[in-house]
Amino acid sequence: MARAALPGRLSWQLGRVLDTIDETQRARSLVLELPNWPGHRAGQHVDIRLTADDGYQAQRGYSIASAPEDNEVILTIERLENGEVSPYLTDVLEPGDELELRGPIGGYFVWDASLSGPLLLISGGSGIVPLRAMLRHWVAARLPVEVRVIHSARSLDEVIYRDELMRLAAYEEVDVRIALTRAWPERWRGHRGRVDRDFLKDAAWPPQDQPRIYVCGPTAFVEAVAAALVDNGQPPDTIKTERFGPTGG
């Protein structure tokens, strides 16, 4: 996919919602039609801006959930309790509605298949969204890079893209581990509890394999995981992080 030259201007554009997909009880994907989309890299995000009829505006960033190779641009939104923008995107927006956004944005938390592996993707909650773009890009690129995915959620019902993760786990080069922190099925054989140092020692690539690492999720999760990786001997400059959280003022 050709990458458009940076124009030096990040302009707001109007897209249209083509379809919506209920991912979990709190998360919904929006499939968008964007006539002026220059293409994107896996891991990038967009800023969405909403305008009320009295002119009041609210703006938030959301990661792109689709690969550069996908036909449509997909965003996945998780509804935050007491959120100002997310409930509108998950509960009110409908196919046919317009959406103002700017993007793609980002140059640090990005992965291209041209980058060497192995790849370690670690997410908590909605932090999985940009990593899903990376995984879809990996599938499309068909390179022999090995991938380990570690995802943390409160319960199995809250694992976004659960079916897709299972299908990805079927690839020989892909290993998927799920950590459930609050509730798990009786015979759950995945990790019970937080992603901690010991679990990472077992599930992550050992430092000598020189993995390329991306960690995304709530601030506390990202900081704890990054610290644990470093404690396990991973050089800090091999770890890229993106913190999610409320930004409404």
Q: Does 108 bind another protein (CB under 8 A)?
A: yes
Binds another protein (CB under 8 A): choice among 107, 185, 233, 235:
107
Structure-token pair, residue 102: 């700017």
Which segment (49-57, 70-78, 139-147, 149-157) binds another protein by CB under 8 A?
A: 49-57
Q: Does 5 bind another protein (CB under 8 A)?
A: no
Q: How far is the CB of 105 from another protein (least distance, A)?
A: 5
Q: Does 14 bind another protein (CB under 8 A)?
A: yes
Are 47 and 61 in contact by the 8 Å Cβ rule? The answer is yes
The residue (of 2 and 52) whose beta carbon lies closer to another protein is 52
Contacts 24+ apart (CB under 8 A), 85-94: 85/48, 85/50, 85/58, 85/59, 85/60, 85/248, 86/60, 88/50, 89/28, 89/30, 89/48, 89/62, 90/26, 90/27, 90/28, 93/17, 93/20, 93/30, 94/17, 94/20
Distance CA 88, CA 94 (A): 10
Query: What letters, b where the CB count within 10 A reaches 16 and e where it falls short, cover 108-128?
Result: ebbbebeeebbbbbbbbbbbb
Which segment (50-58, 64-72, 164-172, 195-203) binds another protein by CB under 8 A?
A: 50-58
What is the total count of residues that contact another protein (CB under 8 A)? Answer: 45
Q: Does 162 bind another protein (CB under 8 A)?
A: no
Binds another protein (CB under 8 A): choice among 36, 57, 114, 208:
57
**Closest by CA position to 137, among listed 78, 65, 77, 75:** 65
Q: Does 35 bind another protein (CB under 8 A)?
A: no
Q: Does 6 bind another protein (CB under 8 A)?
A: yes
Bond prior to 118 in cis (omega within 30° of 0) = yes
Q: Does 144 bind another protein (CB under 8 A)?
A: no
Q: Does 50 bind another protein (CB under 8 A)?
A: yes
Q: Tell me which residues touch another protein (CB under 8 A).
A: 6, 8-10, 12, 14, 45, 47, 49-54, 56-58, 61, 84, 88, 92, 97-100, 102-103, 105-109, 218-220, 240-249
